[in-house]
Structure 1
């Protein structure tokens, strides 16, 4: 039987339905436009830069079997274990091209832009959220690490999601499942990068303020969720701490000037840093709790890193605090929304900022931007070898941190062309390490090969000067250099057996 409704009921129901549809459309548009704008910007020339050292490590480790990867993590890089496992699955499905390897980072930064908009709406209003999300899309450092096959972009998204989930939990603190969601997100943050757990300092400041204002047991709920989340990463903490001195021995201890120079590095643009911080300062009259959260998340972690870097190990790298950038853009979005009187003014301001940072955006997409300051042209080295390759050729790659010449050249060699490494006794994957085991007696590893390709860092006229002494001695005794190709950051040489 059909239910009949009167014209009066239809008139009452229709406006309410229309209003809900408009609210839904506005809510979707709030996060969708910043996300799509960010994705469009960061996808531009995503395959332009050659793989950097860290990306080559990602490529090498993620292509190993899961068993080999897990075995390696007991010796090195345990702090990146979650990322390597994720990338192993991703590359199994989508391949290992530059675009495929970098796309998770691009998608993560796009998701972060959406979260920035949603957080801005919760803390201020929808206008501020939209401004913050669009500002985030324009920041050069976002493009830089959205185009890098490392965990930093995923860390940024996870830490920002944790902030968003905390705000939702604070909206209804008695709903325990919201705190469970927050705790699980804290686990993910720690698994992706332990240092990102410093975001909890900012979260604690907000919760402590709310507890003083409202009470209701919110503080103990937060502490329980945060501690449960942090406890979930204890195995990574134990392994990571034991490996820290080996992995970060080269990071210098920061002085006071390093702390002052941190902010331009964080945005990879002094101009952009100045604009964002100025806009953030213009939001100073907004809600106190909102300002407290954004300010503490943006500022406290770098100071914690700086203070912690005066012991045996220094952790003071701007990449490790990249997750603070969304907090700056939330504040900057609120400042821009407050200063601008119309959407037209906001559009003009964003356009001007986009034009001002355009040189930095172009620089982020430079061919060697991911391998500064070495600027090693692995692609040209691979093309050189391919051009003059003869069946039976073998190779010697001079390897050692931070150089990854073997992985770089192998990555860019055409599929099917594999050069046996003469002096490698045990490959890195079988050694459960990032580096292989070399022959103890190099001369015994030579098998009468007619031609050997040698790839070394730098452009020394005699490339064998860069080869370890024992290996160079064995090569000089039996081979002569028939040709060299000095390239950006490295040299390719062809040795031929003496007659």
Structure 2
């Protein structure tokens, strides 16, 4: 992957004053290089990984009508409703190819990189800000989730913007507009992903410190803004809590060891995680508030999510804590600026880290990286069906993993090769993500002459992987006419027996 080389010298506030136009150039340099490098990383091979579980869920819901989406959110996935509605509009304009569906995340990560640099400058100075923006840009998880058609990149952007808006509100704490902008940003965070509202506790640490030592009145402004922002998403909170046990039943309750394991996962690279942690520990600054804020933003959300997961439902997934990456990058940027004597040394260190992280970036772009651990070749399975397709063909998907397996095949199947999902009531009909088995398989089968059976894994007996009642009907009425195995999936055609 090509690495764009930033300018030879990082801007430093300690440098002598230069011509009048130089501050503008410095400001552009500060955010432009992080944006360009992040865009280069996220757009590199963006279309190559097979669509993953979450991405297929996005496609399944976002392609429905607005009314159908709203009806679905009453039954499942309310916490992602805002993103689904956004993607519905995006896909209407730009289509549903992997590149089209993943581009909003790439743009969001690039915008977040600029905000990391700008916020880092406010907290620690220009050189530390640019180091932070560049560090953020080269973290493999940034490009990984900048290539995923899910709302996590937008959450990272919104959370970083909220921190910057809070700092601006504290600069002019009597400005209702600035506090209003902060409250609106918190509402956006909640609409995109409720777990990310744990950022409010980290913000409160800074506000309490400011209220104690300088301006006591800022505390009440913050409390009001935070209350208004979170109150705006009360319906989503209520719906999301009602869906938790259904959507997150499979997430294990975290242990104390989980707090250590999640670090490398957040960065998608043990090397990057270690380098950032070391640099963060080395961070030094006369601006103590900046260190306090970034430390709270980097650590508190993990602890909050861990504590909230010690119950019936666990929320402890590394994807849910990606919004802490900007804080780690800002701390590490301050650390790098502290331990390097010049911009050239900082550039060299960043370049070496980017070089060593290249294998992790490449791994993020492997064919099945978005579909771990299943690794199913949906595209080849759909290609087999398309090759031998006849109008009126039906399909049955294997149980267990069937809802995702069906979504993957439907996604890659050409528009003119549609199949009727027999033996089930499709999720779209039920205003749900998941299909429901037909109570009377013989009646639901109807008069189809050909039925495709698609199951996970390479198996010589695909009917053994579908519901027993469905398999019984197919064995009685149909006979196999051919089977093809692909990576992680078997496709078998069944034709009706002559009477």
Fold shared by both chains (TM-score > 0.5): yes
Give the match's secondary structure for 2:417: coil
Aligned partners of 1:169 and 1:427: how far apart in 2?
49
Partner residue, 1:15: none
Aligned partners of 1:214 and 1:239: how far apart in 2?
40
* Aligned-residue offset at 1:402: 7.4
Contact 2:254 2:306 in 1 (8 A): yes
Aligned partners of 2:207 and 2:103: how far apart in 1?
35
Aligned partners of 1:401 and 1:72: how far apart in 2?
20
* Aligned-residue offset at 1:269: 1.1
Aligned pairs for 1:430-449 within 5 A: 430-449=429-448
1:92 matched to 2:92? The reply is yes
* Aligned-residue offset at 1:398: 2.5
Q: CA RMSD in A?
A: 1.4
Give the match's secondary structure for 2:407: helix
Partner residue, 2:151: 151
* Aligned-residue offset at 1:173: 0.8
Partner residue, 2:6: none
TM-score by length of structure 1 reads 0.94
Aligned partners of 2:290 and 2:49: how far apart in 1?
38
Partner residue, 1:498: 497
Give the match's secondary structure for 2:169: helix
Q: 1:433 to 1:180 in 2, by over 3 A?
A: same
Once superposed, which parts of structure 1, at least 4 consecutive aligned residues long, lie more than 6 Å away?
A: none
Partner residue, 1:189: 189
Aligned pairs for 1:28-427 within 5 A: 28-400=28-400, 403-424=403-424, 426-427=425-426
Partner residue, 1:470: 469
| Number of residue-to-residue matches in the alignment | 481
* Aligned-residue offset at 1:36: 1.4
Aligned partners of 2:142 and 2:156: how far apart in 1?
10
* Aligned-residue offset at 1:343: 2.1
TM-score by length of structure 2 reads 0.94
Runs of 5+ unmatched residues, structure 1: 1-17
* Aligned-residue offset at 1:43: 0.4
Aligned partners of 2:286 and 2:98: how far apart in 1?
43
Contact 2:394 2:451 in 1 (8 A): yes
Runs of 5+ unmatched residues, structure 2: 1-17
Contact 1:279 1:331 in 2 (8 A): yes
Q: Deviations over 1:409-432 (max 9, x none)?
A: 1111122110112213x4322211
* Aligned-residue offset at 1:20: 4.5
Give the match's secondary structure for 1:261: helix
* Aligned-residue offset at 1:390: 2.9
Aligned partners of 1:134 and 1:146: how far apart in 2?
15
* Aligned-residue offset at 1:391: 3.3
Give the match's secondary structure for 2:310: coil
Q: Which moved more, 1:301-310 or 1:21-30?
A: 21-30
* Aligned-residue offset at 1:132: 0.5
